[in-house]
Structure 1
Amino acid sequence: MTEPTAPANHVISEPIGFIGLGAMGAPMVRHLATLGYSLLVYDTNASAVASAVERGAQSMTSAKAIADRAAIVLTCLPSLPAIKEVVFGEEGVSKGGAARILVDFSTTGARFAQDLAADLKSFEIDLLDSPITGNVTTAGNGKLGIMCSGPERAFERVAPIMRDLASLEVLYLGEETGKAQTLKLLNNSLSATGMASACEAFILGVKGGLNPQRMLEIINSGDASSSATRNKFGRSVLPRKFDFGARMAITAKDISLTVEEAQNRGVPMWVAQTVQQVWKYAAMQGGADRDGTSLITYLEPWSGVEVASRGEAISCERAVSVGATFVPHILICDESEAEPISLRLREQGFKVEIPHGEAGAAQPTTVPARSFGTCVLIGVKESDEQSLLVKRIRQAAGEGGVVINTRTMSIAESTRFHQQTRELGLKCVDGLHTGPSHERRSGQGVIIVGGAAAAIDAVVPLLAALSRRVFVISERPGDAQLMHMIHASLFATLLVVTSEAFVAGAKAGLTPLQMRTIMGIETGRNAASARILPEQVATRRFDYGLTLAQARRHLTMATDAARQLGVTTWIFDKVLGVYGLVCSGGHSPEDVSSIAKQYESWAQVKVENVDRAQQAA
């Protein structure tokens, strides 16, 4: 539950201890000092202490010295040994005479927090395990998120401090120590996966010749985005600065704790375990004390590329005005999409002709009152040979025009198809929709376009009718297909690891609402944690609009492309394995969100809204 609203700026007047002035602790202390708190601080880093003193804090000689004067002591420390030393060492908090509440903002895992709370009881000190979510910026402006579990009486006493540090969210989870740690670890697993999988995606794209800045813009336009792509790649990775502000060792520790705790609860963490191995590898290769955004530098050498900005970033989004000059087109789509696409285009003022029979005789639909031109729509079965498709295009083609391919193909197939259409005297573009079926049919979502500039200019009006945003990846045949594979693989990866997290959370007694509350702040936020798990899985609707078979196909194409390009994709390969396992069980036609049902079955728990479960009882 979320703690009750209280008056703003309710600063506690008694002295407050704060131990651990690292990347997160230091800005937290400066923020509290600015608000007028009387702070007693201790850290082995003299410069960090001096910075806090400049803001009004008082430097103390030890943790015990703080605990002799402050009833409330806050800690934010980087490791479990550091916490043990600060709390139980000869000059530790437990040796002080005044301390009665220890608020630990560190990430420790549930078992450590439970042991710590039990040991502190003998010293008559209550523990509030209160891990934080955010970054160095939000730590300094009071916009963190805090999840807290422990004695309610202690929470009520320190709630004003938490509100001042975490104006975005203070989530009290009850008296069961360790619950907050579980939620924090699961949130961090999404963040760690977002970073590691984005590294694989960009390495694959750059090795395939894609512009990384265009890749980033496209990824962040849809359901493949994560905190890594939204906040870290543009600022720290592509410029090669690697300065976001979180040590790699911390992430490696957190993801290891997550995997261990979830597996102890009987949840298979196949993807998170692979992510753990990637982070541990980089940390052991000398990256432990480097910024976490430098993870990519330990993966790039395997593929022989460097992912970096190419000059000033220029948007690759194209205007989607439907009033531009229009020329006749032939649009290729999956047979199942032909009717809804035809309806959408007619509603938007296009004349649509649908060839019937092998002769391909064009059968016009009703011509709308206002028409932008003619579009011949060819629906293709998955089993159709490409040679048959080319024959149908030849039969349907008039004088000139552009072929718009909306079907996913391998890079080689796309390149060959472009060549074949050129031999027919036609221009060709790939126009691939990244979203679920309902977005394609309603003209929402995003389309990735690749092809000659003149051909793209000619099809913008039609693409405007089928999407809300259009992005041009390049003029080279096959590039739009590669970008689409990468986008789809990132989405599939985030969905699987979020399913692992929500199932592990349910096993620990966390509700979907509690998980979305914290994961929705930023570090763990993605389409799966913000919408799909809470709105599709927890409600048992399972209607995102993409099948498991489609997700598997996209992953297969991406990993095949990676092997052809000489790129190692540890994470995408493992995700493909999970989808393959589920599909082999006869679930291929099911909605992609039902991947969570398989994890539920394996873990013997349901991610389900509490009120629904109560009604069913």
Structure 2
Amino acid sequence: MTQKIGFVGLGAMGLPMATNLIAAGFHLTVYNRTASKAEPLVAKGARRADRAGDVAQPGGIVVSMLADDAAVKALVTGPDAIAEKLAPDGIHISMSTVSPATTRELAAYHASHNSVMVAAPVFGRPTAAQAKQLKICVSGPAEIRAKVKPILEAMGDAIFDFGDNVGSANVVKLAGNFMIAAAMEAMGEASAMMRKSGVDPSAALEMLTKTLFAAPVYQGYGAIISHGRFSPPGFRLPLGLKDMNLVLQNASEVTAPMPTASLLHDRFVSAIAKGRADLDWSAIALGAADDAGLKESR
């Protein structure tokens, strides 16, 4: 396979995703704001671009994995404006966790400049990205979804199609992150109650996550929470706060009350205010321990 792809964003998730694309035989031109992060990919044959817009070519494909809405907007409409540089008929695969409204806005901008955008946010931590075990949600024009499927398959082990409405995959991603955060909060509260009752939370959560809650989210985060292994982070607390803001924003736009999301938002704000910004987002579970008068267990 000799297809050329541009890739923007080589953070904890983007780097292993781009590495898997190279392993699958794609030829990559890559850009990251911190240029040194591209070095492992250059060593594998990728070309490093000096500017984000330089990864795009007319009729080509660009994959982006960026931190937030502002970064994706800057890539599409800013000085580098890949929407224009991809024309005619180029494709932008946006894999970032952003608001559905932003995706719809940028898809319209792409269309007005004769290029196209699909949303393909992912579920999975950096270890899953390395192992090509990401779960990828995709939405956008049917013909484009089919065209980019081999690229997505090179980065994940399951692709889930959510139709033509380009923002739909982002709605699913936000719903999933909300449910993950709710599970972490529940385990944090349960752990605090057990600790104050003289029960070892690690033994209890191990049992519960092997039986009643035998699912990857409970098993993975249950071990992190019960053992206090919040560093190094796989997904930092400020990113969790960003996602809860997006959940509440979208919920407000569609008039869907989400009181649990409001609680989770406040947990993230509180955790950051207490100096935990560099910890994994699962450290919101410490909020329940704080409320119970327990000392940090990490």
Displacement of 1:221 after TM fit?
Answer: 3.2
Distance verdict in 2 for CA 1:245–1:25, change over 3 Å? same
Superposition CA RMSD, Å? 2.2
Aligned residue identity for 1:145: K
Displacement of 1:302 after TM fit?
Answer: 3.2
Deviations 1:44-74 (A, max 9, x none): 1233211222232211111211113771000
Q: Distance in 2 between matches of 1:117 and 1:288?
A: 32
Q: Does 1:111 align with 2:101?
A: yes
Deviations 1:432-455 (A, max 9, x none): xxxxxxxxxxxxxxxxxxxxxxxx
Q: Distance in 1 between matches of 2:216 and 2:191?
A: 15
Distance verdict in 2 for CA 1:55–1:235, change over 3 Å? farther
* Counterpart position of 1:129: 119
Q: Distance in 1 between matches of 2:271 and 2:297?
A: 19
Larger radius of gyration: 1
Aligned residue identity for 2:145: F
Displacement of 1:275 after TM fit?
Answer: 1.9
* Counterpart position of 1:198: 187
Distance verdict in 2 for CA 1:197–1:227, change over 3 Å? farther
Aligned residue identity for 1:181: N
Counterparts of residues 24-39 of structure 1 (less than 5 Å): 24-39=13-28
Displacement of 1:304 after TM fit?
Answer: 2.9
Distance verdict in 2 for CA 1:236–1:69, change over 3 Å? farther
Distance verdict in 2 for CA 1:19–1:308, change over 3 Å? same
Q: Distance in 1 between matches of 2:84 and 2:273?
A: 36
Counterparts of residues 590-605 of structure 1 (less than 5 Å): none
Counterparts of residues 580-595 of structure 1 (less than 5 Å): none
Deviations 1:269-307 (A, max 9, x none): 122222222123223443344321332345433333246
* Counterpart position of 1:248: 237
Displacement of 1:225 after TM fit?
Answer: 5.5
Gaps of 5+ in 2: none
Q: Distance in 2 between matches of 1:30 and 1:179?
A: 27
Q: Does 1:75 align with 2:64?
A: yes
- Could you state the TM-score of these two structures normalised by the residue count of structure 1? 0.46
Count of residues paired in the alignment: 297
Gaps of 5+ in 1: 1-10, 310-617
Aligned residue identity for 1:104: S
* Counterpart position of 1:4: none
Q: 1:41·1:58 contact (CA, 8 Å) conserved in 2?
A: yes
Aligned residue identity for 2:105: D
Distance verdict in 2 for CA 1:297–1:274, change over 3 Å? closer
Distance verdict in 2 for CA 1:221–1:97, change over 3 Å? closer
Quick one: which of 249, 258, 265 aligns to 2:247?
Answer: 258
* Counterpart position of 2:34: 45
Aligned residue identity for 1:231: G
* Counterpart position of 1:16: 5
Identity %: 27
Aligned residue identity for 1:141: A
Distance verdict in 2 for CA 1:228–1:307, change over 3 Å? farther
Moved >6 Å (runs of 4+) = none
Displacement of 1:27 after TM fit?
Answer: 0.8
Q: Distance in 2 between matches of 1:237 and 1:45?
A: 35
